[in-house]
Amino acid sequence: MDIEDLYSMIPKVPCPPGCITCCKNFGVPSRTKIEDERIKEYLKKHNMKVGEAKGTTCPYVTEKGCSIYPVRPFICRLYGTSPNYMCIENYRPARLLEPEEEEELFYLYRKYFD
């Protein structure tokens, strides 16, 4: 299993273009070493610098949205997909994850990527 396999198991949340509410309210997203390396490679490839959080705002959010969206961490992808991680703007996938599915995702995340 690679990280993209895990990500593919997470439902897609239909966030509207430019929505950055979660990015402004939760600070620097947690990430594993693998995810951190992916972010750093992406930043280097796109001539971007490692950001610093300001208060509760993610260092990679812009007024247009997430500047690292293709390599955003697991927790960012999970947000809005389950009852434990509901979007405060009420956007959600067609079907929310069941608690057991969320638990399985975290198990796999920790087992293979932590």
CA 38 to CA 35: how far, in whole Å? Answer: 5
Model pTM score: 0.91
In the chain, where are the structural domains located?
3-113
Who has greater pLDDT, 53 or 55? 55
- Residue type present at position 55: G
Per-residue pLDDT for 28 more than 80? no
User: Across the chain, where does the E strand assignment appear?
Assistant: 61-62, 65-66
Question: Buried b / exposed e across 5-18, counting CB within 10 Å, b at 16+?
Answer: ebbeebbebebeee
Residues 110 and 34 sit within 8 Å (Cβ to Cβ): no
- pLDDT score at 102: 96
Contacts of 57 (CB under 8 A, 6+ apart): 23, 24, 27
> Would you state the pLDDT for residue 70?
96
